[in-house]
Amino acid sequence: MHNVPNQAVTSRQHANDPSEFPYAPAGWSPVEAEKLAAENDLTLMPEHWETLRSLQAYYANTEEPKVRELLDALDERFHARGGLKLLHKLFPNGPVAQGCRLAGLAVPPGALDRSFGSVQ
């Protein structure tokens, strides 16, 4: 079973290096991702950042992202480390829904987790 590293990678380690996120949407920053993650009780670890970069790259190279294709691409990328099982541990509100929000991307239809970010 895969263990998530204990050391968080903070936005300060990414903020001054735009090459870390070459496909980031305009206006997105690692600092904003960290703030949103903290609001949802997540501490972004290296695998979170890798997932965000993967989602941003996928969106940059796909005209109309689809949930199933995103899940398949992420599962393939993380297969050796546990695939979707790992991704659901990293993103408890769904690797596509929560991952896209943290990456500054529109959540594709069918991936919405209505509890993510809700206020009661």
Among candidate residues 7, 11, 3, 82, the one with its CA nearest the CA of residue 52: 11
Work out whether the CA dihedral 92, 53, 117, 62 comes out positive or negative.
Answer: negative
- 22, 107 Cβ separation under 8 angstroms: no
- pLDDT at residue number 59: 96
CA 99 – CA 116 distance, rounded (Å): 11
For 2-53, what is each residue's pLDDT tens digit? Answer: 333 334 444 445 544 557 899 999 999 999 999 999 999 999 999 999 999 9
Give 117's pLDDT tier (boundaries 50, 70, 90): very low
Work out whether the CA dihedral 34, 89, 116, 77 comes out positive or negative.
Answer: positive
- pLDDT at residue number 112: 61
Tell how far CA 21 is from the center of its chain.
Answer: 12
26 or 114: which leads in pLDDT: 26
For 82-113, what is each residue's pLDDT tens digit? Answer: 999 999 999 999 999 999 999 999 999 888 65
For 71-88, what is each residue's pLDDT tens digit? Answer: 999 999 999 999 999 999
CA 93 – CA 112 distance, rounded (Å): 9
CA angle 64, 119, 10 (to 5 degrees): 65
- pLDDT at residue number 4: 36
